[in-house]
Amino acid sequence: MASSHAQQVDVFVMPSAVLRSGHGVNWLSFVGIAEQMKAAEYRSADDATLYAAQQTLMRAMAASALGVRPTAAADIPVDRSCRVCRNSSEHGKPLIAGVNLSMSRTTGMVAGALTSGDMTEDGAARLGADIERLRGNFLDGFDRVALTEAETTAVEALDRETAQLLRLLLWTGKEAVLKATGHGLVAGPDAVEFSPQDFPRDPAAVAGFSTRGVLTLAGQEAQEFWVGWQVQGEYFIAVALDRPLELKLHPVTTPLEVKRIIEAS
Protein backbone atom coordinates (compact mmCIF):
# COMPACT_ATOMS: atom_id res chain seq x y z
CA MET A 1 0.00 0.00 0.00
CA ALA A 2 3.05 2.26 -0.26
CA SER A 3 2.50 5.31 -2.46
CA SER A 4 4.73 7.79 -4.25
CA HIS A 5 4.25 10.06 -1.24
CA ALA A 6 5.13 7.39 1.32
CA GLN A 7 7.55 8.33 4.08
CA GLN A 8 10.57 6.05 4.36
CA VAL A 9 11.13 4.21 7.62
CA ASP A 10 14.40 2.37 8.18
CA VAL A 11 13.95 -0.72 10.33
CA PHE A 12 17.05 -2.10 12.08
CA VAL A 13 17.06 -5.59 13.58
CA MET A 14 19.83 -7.13 15.66
CA PRO A 15 20.13 -10.43 17.56
CA SER A 16 20.77 -9.71 21.23
CA ALA A 17 23.45 -12.43 21.18
CA VAL A 18 25.64 -10.01 19.21
CA LEU A 19 26.50 -8.37 22.54
CA ARG A 20 28.15 -11.63 23.61
CA SER A 21 30.18 -11.87 20.43
CA GLY A 22 33.36 -10.12 19.41
CA HIS A 23 31.26 -7.12 18.38
CA GLY A 24 29.89 -6.67 21.89
CA VAL A 25 32.56 -4.23 23.04
CA ASN A 26 31.73 -1.92 20.11
CA TRP A 27 28.04 -1.84 21.03
CA LEU A 28 28.45 -1.44 24.77
CA SER A 29 30.55 1.68 24.31
CA PHE A 30 27.30 3.44 23.31
CA VAL A 31 25.57 3.08 26.70
CA GLY A 32 26.31 4.78 29.99
CA ILE A 33 26.50 3.70 33.61
CA ALA A 34 22.76 4.18 34.27
CA GLU A 35 21.73 1.75 31.52
CA GLN A 36 24.43 -0.74 32.50
CA MET A 37 23.15 -0.65 36.09
CA LYS A 38 19.58 -1.13 34.86
CA ALA A 39 20.66 -4.18 32.87
CA ALA A 40 22.36 -5.57 35.98
CA GLU A 41 19.02 -5.51 37.82
CA TYR A 42 17.59 -8.28 35.64
CA ARG A 43 17.75 -11.72 37.24
CA SER A 44 18.06 -13.45 33.90
CA ALA A 45 21.29 -12.96 31.96
CA ASP A 46 19.32 -13.28 28.71
CA ASP A 47 16.91 -10.53 29.78
CA ALA A 48 19.81 -8.30 30.79
CA THR A 49 21.48 -8.82 27.42
CA LEU A 50 18.22 -8.15 25.60
CA TYR A 51 17.68 -4.87 27.45
CA ALA A 52 21.27 -3.79 26.83
CA ALA A 53 20.96 -4.67 23.15
CA GLN A 54 17.89 -2.46 22.78
CA GLN A 55 19.57 0.49 24.48
CA THR A 56 22.77 0.17 22.46
CA LEU A 57 20.90 -0.07 19.17
CA MET A 58 18.77 2.95 20.10
CA ARG A 59 21.81 5.06 20.97
CA ALA A 60 23.71 3.93 17.88
CA MET A 61 20.75 4.98 15.72
CA ALA A 62 20.39 8.33 17.51
CA ALA A 63 24.13 9.07 17.44
CA SER A 64 24.35 8.29 13.73
CA ALA A 65 21.32 10.46 12.92
CA LEU A 66 22.55 13.36 15.06
CA GLY A 67 26.19 13.17 14.00
CA VAL A 68 27.33 12.40 17.55
CA ARG A 69 30.59 10.51 18.09
CA PRO A 70 30.20 6.97 19.52
CA THR A 71 32.14 7.98 22.63
CA ALA A 72 29.52 10.67 23.34
CA ALA A 73 26.45 8.56 22.50
CA ALA A 74 25.91 7.65 26.15
CA ASP A 75 25.41 11.35 26.93
CA ILE A 76 22.50 11.84 24.50
CA PRO A 77 19.51 12.87 26.69
CA VAL A 78 16.58 10.43 26.63
CA ASP A 79 13.19 11.44 28.04
CA ARG A 80 11.39 8.31 29.25
CA SER A 81 8.56 10.01 31.15
CA CYS A 82 5.06 8.68 30.51
CA ARG A 83 2.84 11.04 28.51
CA VAL A 84 -0.30 9.13 29.56
CA CYS A 85 -0.15 8.97 33.36
CA ARG A 86 2.02 12.13 33.50
CA ASN A 87 3.89 11.14 36.64
CA SER A 88 7.61 10.83 37.23
CA SER A 89 7.77 7.14 36.31
CA GLU A 90 10.21 6.50 33.48
CA HIS A 91 8.21 3.90 31.57
CA GLY A 92 7.07 5.99 28.61
CA LYS A 93 8.12 5.94 24.97
CA PRO A 94 11.76 7.14 24.78
CA LEU A 95 12.02 10.63 23.30
CA ILE A 96 15.27 11.97 21.86
CA ALA A 97 15.36 15.52 20.50
CA GLY A 98 16.36 15.74 16.85
CA VAL A 99 15.37 12.21 15.82
CA ASN A 100 12.20 10.18 15.31
CA LEU A 101 12.52 6.57 16.40
CA SER A 102 10.72 3.70 18.12
CA MET A 103 12.24 0.62 19.73
CA SER A 104 11.04 -2.89 20.53
CA ARG A 105 12.47 -6.15 21.81
CA THR A 106 11.48 -9.76 22.18
CA THR A 107 13.34 -12.92 23.11
CA GLY A 108 16.57 -13.02 21.12
CA MET A 109 16.04 -9.96 18.93
CA VAL A 110 15.75 -6.17 19.12
CA ALA A 111 14.33 -3.78 16.54
CA GLY A 112 14.46 -0.05 15.97
CA ALA A 113 12.49 2.05 13.47
CA LEU A 114 13.81 5.43 12.34
CA THR A 115 12.21 8.06 10.12
CA SER A 116 12.73 11.73 9.36
CA GLY A 117 11.75 14.52 11.71
CA ASP A 118 12.07 15.43 15.38
CA MET A 119 9.80 13.35 17.62
CA THR A 120 9.77 16.09 20.27
CA GLU A 121 8.17 18.66 17.95
CA ASP A 122 4.48 19.16 17.19
CA GLY A 123 3.54 17.84 13.78
CA ALA A 124 6.26 15.20 13.66
CA ALA A 125 5.22 11.83 12.25
CA ARG A 126 4.01 9.54 15.02
CA LEU A 127 6.03 6.34 14.76
CA GLY A 128 5.71 3.03 16.59
CA ALA A 129 7.33 -0.39 16.19
CA ASP A 130 6.79 -3.85 17.63
CA ILE A 131 8.65 -7.12 17.12
CA GLU A 132 7.41 -10.59 18.03
CA ARG A 133 8.44 -14.14 17.35
CA LEU A 134 5.92 -16.43 15.66
CA ARG A 135 4.50 -18.48 18.50
CA GLY A 136 2.44 -21.64 18.78
CA ASN A 137 0.08 -20.43 21.48
CA PHE A 138 -1.44 -17.25 22.86
CA LEU A 139 -2.71 -16.80 26.39
CA ASP A 140 -6.24 -17.91 27.19
CA GLY A 141 -8.60 -15.00 26.74
CA PHE A 142 -6.31 -13.28 24.22
CA ASP A 143 -9.08 -12.81 21.66
CA ARG A 144 -11.47 -11.37 24.23
CA VAL A 145 -8.94 -8.82 25.48
CA ALA A 146 -7.01 -7.91 22.34
CA LEU A 147 -9.36 -8.30 19.39
CA THR A 148 -12.49 -6.55 18.21
CA GLU A 149 -15.63 -8.55 17.45
CA ALA A 150 -14.94 -8.59 13.72
CA GLU A 151 -11.31 -9.62 14.26
CA THR A 152 -12.37 -12.42 16.61
CA THR A 153 -14.88 -13.73 14.06
CA ALA A 154 -12.19 -13.77 11.38
CA VAL A 155 -9.71 -15.62 13.59
CA GLU A 156 -12.24 -18.24 14.68
CA ALA A 157 -13.03 -19.08 11.05
CA LEU A 158 -9.44 -20.15 10.33
CA ASP A 159 -7.47 -23.33 10.94
CA ARG A 160 -5.24 -23.22 14.02
CA GLU A 161 -1.94 -22.42 12.27
CA THR A 162 -3.39 -19.66 10.12
CA ALA A 163 -5.32 -18.25 13.07
CA GLN A 164 -2.10 -17.97 15.08
CA LEU A 165 -0.45 -16.05 12.26
CA LEU A 166 -3.38 -13.63 12.04
CA ARG A 167 -3.35 -13.16 15.81
CA LEU A 168 0.36 -12.31 15.68
CA LEU A 169 -0.08 -9.81 12.87
CA LEU A 170 -3.03 -8.13 14.56
CA TRP A 171 -1.20 -8.00 17.90
CA THR A 172 2.01 -6.52 16.51
CA GLY A 173 0.05 -4.01 14.46
CA LYS A 174 -1.98 -2.89 17.47
CA GLU A 175 1.14 -2.59 19.63
CA ALA A 176 2.88 -0.52 16.97
CA VAL A 177 -0.06 1.90 16.76
CA LEU A 178 -0.32 2.27 20.53
CA LYS A 179 3.42 2.86 20.79
CA ALA A 180 3.17 5.50 18.08
CA THR A 181 0.69 7.47 20.18
CA GLY A 182 2.58 6.86 23.42
CA HIS A 183 -0.38 5.10 25.06
CA GLY A 184 1.06 1.60 25.04
CA LEU A 185 -1.28 -1.07 26.33
CA VAL A 186 -2.86 1.40 28.76
CA ALA A 187 -5.37 2.16 26.00
CA GLY A 188 -6.21 -1.51 25.40
CA PRO A 189 -5.32 -3.28 22.15
CA ASP A 190 -8.97 -3.62 21.17
CA ALA A 191 -9.01 0.18 20.76
CA VAL A 192 -7.15 -0.41 17.48
CA GLU A 193 -9.16 -2.06 14.73
CA PHE A 194 -8.05 -3.57 11.44
CA SER A 195 -9.94 -5.16 8.55
CA PRO A 196 -8.82 -8.78 9.09
CA GLN A 197 -9.87 -9.88 5.61
CA ASP A 198 -6.99 -7.79 4.22
CA PHE A 199 -4.27 -9.75 6.04
CA PRO A 200 -2.13 -12.47 4.44
CA ARG A 201 -2.79 -16.06 5.47
CA ASP A 202 0.68 -17.29 4.51
CA PRO A 203 3.85 -16.28 6.45
CA ALA A 204 5.70 -15.99 3.14
CA ALA A 205 3.36 -13.16 2.09
CA VAL A 206 3.85 -11.02 5.21
CA ALA A 207 7.06 -9.16 4.32
CA GLY A 208 6.09 -5.93 2.59
CA PHE A 209 2.40 -6.18 3.48
CA SER A 210 0.75 -2.97 4.68
CA THR A 211 -2.72 -1.84 5.63
CA ARG A 212 -4.50 0.79 7.71
CA GLY A 213 -5.69 0.62 11.29
CA VAL A 214 -8.00 2.91 13.22
CA LEU A 215 -7.48 3.91 16.85
CA THR A 216 -10.63 4.93 18.71
CA LEU A 217 -10.35 6.37 22.22
CA ALA A 218 -13.19 7.58 24.39
CA GLY A 219 -13.98 11.24 23.81
CA GLN A 220 -11.58 11.56 20.86
CA GLU A 221 -11.88 11.48 17.11
CA ALA A 222 -10.80 8.26 15.41
CA GLN A 223 -7.16 8.29 14.31
CA GLU A 224 -5.92 6.48 11.22
CA PHE A 225 -2.50 4.84 11.00
CA TRP A 226 -0.65 3.11 8.20
CA VAL A 227 0.95 -0.15 9.36
CA GLY A 228 3.52 -2.24 7.52
CA TRP A 229 5.28 -5.52 8.32
CA GLN A 230 8.73 -6.95 7.67
CA VAL A 231 10.11 -10.38 8.52
CA GLN A 232 13.53 -11.46 9.75
CA GLY A 233 13.66 -15.24 10.08
CA GLU A 234 10.91 -16.19 12.53
CA TYR A 235 10.54 -12.63 13.78
CA PHE A 236 7.75 -10.34 12.58
CA ILE A 237 8.18 -6.56 12.81
CA ALA A 238 5.23 -4.16 12.57
CA VAL A 239 5.72 -0.43 12.08
CA ALA A 240 2.94 2.16 12.42
CA LEU A 241 2.97 5.73 11.12
CA ASP A 242 0.26 8.38 10.96
CA ARG A 243 0.85 8.77 7.22
CA PRO A 244 1.70 6.46 4.28
CA LEU A 245 4.96 4.60 4.86
CA GLU A 246 7.57 2.55 3.08
CA LEU A 247 9.71 0.17 5.13
CA LYS A 248 13.34 -0.76 4.51
CA LEU A 249 14.68 -3.64 6.60
CA HIS A 250 18.32 -3.62 7.74
CA PRO A 251 19.73 -6.60 9.69
CA VAL A 252 22.85 -5.31 11.48
CA THR A 253 25.61 -6.69 13.68
CA THR A 254 27.86 -3.65 14.16
CA PRO A 255 27.33 0.06 14.97
CA LEU A 256 29.29 0.95 11.85
CA GLU A 257 26.62 -0.72 9.71
CA VAL A 258 23.97 1.41 11.39
CA LYS A 259 25.99 4.56 10.77
CA ARG A 260 26.56 3.81 7.09
CA ILE A 261 22.90 2.98 6.45
CA ILE A 262 21.65 6.16 8.13
CA GLU A 263 24.22 8.35 6.37
CA ALA A 264 23.15 6.86 3.02
CA SER A 265 19.42 7.36 3.64
Q: What is the pLDDT of residues 166-176, one digit of tens each?
A: 999 999 999 99
Of residues 86 and 56, which shows the higher confidence score?
A: 56
Q: What is the pLDDT of residues 132-168, one digit of tens each?
A: 998 878 888 999 999 999 999 999 999 999 999 999 9
Nearest to 236 by CA among 137, 136, 104, 134: 134
* Span 57-78, average pLDDT: 97
Spatial contact of 126 and 101, defined as CB atoms under 8 Å apart: no
Beta strands in 164-207 (DSSP E): 192-193
The predicted structure's pLDDT at residue 74 = 95
The predicted structure's pLDDT at residue 187 = 83
* Cross-strand partners of 115: 9, 100
Is residue 36 packed enough to be buried (19+ CB in 10 Å), middle (13-18) or exposed (0-12)? middle
The predicted structure's pLDDT at residue 139 = 81
Q: Is the confidence at residue 2, as pLDDT, over 80?
A: no
Is residue 265 packed enough to be buried (19+ CB in 10 Å), middle (13-18) or exposed (0-12)? middle
Beta strands in the chain (DSSP E): 7-15, 100-106, 109-115, 127-133, 192-193, 210-215, 223-232, 235-241, 245-251
pTM of the model: 0.94
Cα 180 from chain centre: 9
Q: Is the confidence at residue 40, as pLDDT, over 80?
A: yes
Class of domain 7-264: alpha beta
d(CA 233, CA 220): 38
d(CA 231, CA 251): 10
For the chain, what are the domain ranges? 7-264
Q: What is the mean pLDDT of the chain?
A: 93
pLDDT confidence tier of residue 219, bands split at 50, 70 and 90: confident
DSSP string, 119-132: TTSTTPPPEEEEEE
Share of the chain above pLDDT 70, in %: 95
Q: Phi and psi of 174, rounded to 5°?
A: -65, -45
The predicted structure's pLDDT at residue 9 = 99
